Amino acid sequence: MDHAAEHLDPAAPASGPASSSAAVAEVNAFVVASADLSLRRAEVEEKRDKVRKESKALLDYTRKAITKLTELKK
């Protein structure tokens, strides 16, 4: 088995402590990035909900204003 294949084989032994700590660092970086994405996603969902509520309120206000203008024109 060549060196590249050993790297891809999960059953292959690690080539040393440096390889092991690099793998741990890579996993830690992945976990941190995943958590960051999750937090950003939650923030975006909160902002989206807020914007939807504001949009609905503005649309309702606009409809009422149009109705009132229509009544005044009569």
Answer whether 12's CB lies under 8 Å from 6's CB.
yes
pLDDT band, residue 1 (cuts 50/70/90):
very low
Give per-residue pLDDT as tens, 3-42: 555 555 555 555 556 678 999 999 999 999 999 999 999 9
Residue 19: its pLDDT value, please?
79
Dihedral pair phi/psi, residue 10, rounded to 5°: -65, -20
Q: Taking residues 48-56, report their average pLDDT.
A: 98
**Nearest alpha carbon to residue 19 among 27, 2, 31:** 27
Q: Taking residues 31-56, report their average pLDDT.
A: 97
Give per-residue pLDDT as tens, 11-21: 555 555 667 89
**Segments in 1-74 forming alpha helices (H):** 3-8, 17-73
Domain coordinates in residue numbering, the chain: 44-74
